[in-house]
Amino acid sequence: MTSLLSHISAFEYWRHVGTPGFIVPKPSRTTIAPPSFAVSDFDWLVNTSVLSRPLHGLTSIKHKRTNEPAVRHVAYQELPFGSVCSISPEQRITSPELTIIQIAPLLSFTELVCIICEFCGLFTINESLENPLVKRAPLTSVAKIAAFCQRAKGLTGVAKAAKATKYAHDRSRSPMETATILLFTLPQQRGGYSLSGARLNRKITLSPKARKMAGIDRLEPDIAWPKAKIIVEYDSKAFHNQEARISNDARRKNAFTASGFRVITLTSAQLNSKTEMDKIAAHIAAAAKKRVRIAKPATFYAKQKLLRMELLHCDGVHRKQHALSERAGQQLERTKTSLSWLADDDLA
């Protein structure tokens, strides 16, 4: 019998994809949830502490309550195409796109945008490893999530997820890159500087002069506003060899400058300073021939303070591996009922 892992449990599994020993689920053409969900099908994952309890599964039939540590969500209708992936013939999991929609009601808007950036990014977080930042291929893309939301209209969480994709970015390499680009690009109503048009880790073709200097045809800046010809490079000090880092940064900056870009180096100290970020945002806006107009400064900075707290001072929502599970457990304890697949989406 096949079981379909969903919601929090699917989220926890997808976050481990890319680390050793985890099967990359393959897309399935299935659009019908199985009639039942058996916890025993996923004991091997629970025993490795990958999935917290209770397990969450999706079924096509409502079942009576049991003492088994599982939450069975019911899909009363056919699932949108692209909803299911296969771990094995007996083990299935909701797709990254559907999983994003399912966990949307449990997250703040900023948390949801960050998680979308992680799913669409080039990294994941695994706190069981010495270096918790793990490189991996994107699970999905912002465009795929947006397209899936169109097919999934009416599902709980879809309106909120669709709205969040408008502010998310592909190809983030770390929680810090996500925090940086969101501070720059989120609208002022959410505490950002409204500097739209940014691209994250997208290759830029260098000018002939810059190619000779760099010895390559293209370089990938951290954040770029291509139309404004401005680049922000984050000084992460990732290199152990200080001399090599300085040489690499200088080579990149010279190549970008020779191609007509203005390069701004952003340090962690600047990122954590409201004054410094105001100055950098003003420089970017001027290059883009815009103005950062703050109609109500007190309101804006209050919202930006909250945004900074979520993005910078909580070590990133990415690191709290079981926070969603704990929050889901509290919600279920309050409601004493499983979330309805067709419930009104009043959290959008």
Distance CA 296, CA 281 (A): 17
Q: How many CB atoms lie within 10 A of CB 125?
A: 21
**Residue 264: φ, ψ to 5°:** -115, 125
Q: Which two tokens stand for residue 158?
A: 């879809």
For residue 213, pLDDT beyond 90 = no
Question: Which of these, 92, 82, 99, lies nearest to 156 by C-alpha position?
Answer: 99
Is pLDDT larger for residue 121 or for residue 319? 121
| Dihedral sign from CA coordinates of 4, 21, 9, 179 | negative
Residue 295, judged by CB atoms within 10 A of its CB (0-12, 13-18, 19+), counts as: exposed
* pLDDT of residue 84 exceeding 70: yes
Tens digit of pLDDT for each residue in 89-107? 999 999 999 999 999 999 9
Rounded-to-integer distance, Cα 176 and Cα 317, Å: 11
215: alpha, beta or left? (left if phi > 0; alpha if psi -120 to 50): left
Mean pLDDT confidence for 280-290: 91
Check residues 63 and 79 and name the one with the higher pLDDT.
Answer: 79
62, pLDDT greater than 70: yes
pLDDT 10s digits, 26-36: 999 999 999 99
Q: Give the start-to-end residue ranges of the domains of the chain.
A: 3-172+316-335, 175-311
| Average pLDDT of span 218-228 | 95
How far apart CA 228 and CA 281 sit, in angstroms, is 13
Question: Is 304 buried (19+), middle (13-18) or exposed (0-12) by CB count in 10 A?
Answer: buried
> What's the number of CA atoms in the CB half-sphere (13 Å) around residue 281?
27
Beta strands in 64-198 (DSSP E): 70-74, 84-86, 91-94, 123-125, 133-135
Q: How many residues does the chain have?
A: 348
pLDDT confidence bin for 241, thresholds 50/70/90 = low
Answer for the pair 222, 200: CB distance below 8 angstroms, yes or no.
Answer: yes
- Answer yes or no: is pLDDT of 242 > 90: no
Of the candidates 225, 160, 262, the residue with the CA atom closest to the CA atom of residue 168: 160
pTM higher than 0.85 for the full model? yes
Cα–Cα dist 297/306, whole Å: 14
Question: Quick one: pLDDT at residue 323?
Answer: 54
Residue 294 confidence class, pLDDT cut points 50, 70, 90:
confident
Closest CA to 140 of 203, 179, 77, 94: 94
Longest CA span, the chain: 71
Residue 279 is predicted with a pLDDT of 93
Chain segment 312-346, per-residue pLDDT in tens: 864 444 444 445 555 544 444 333 333 333 332 33
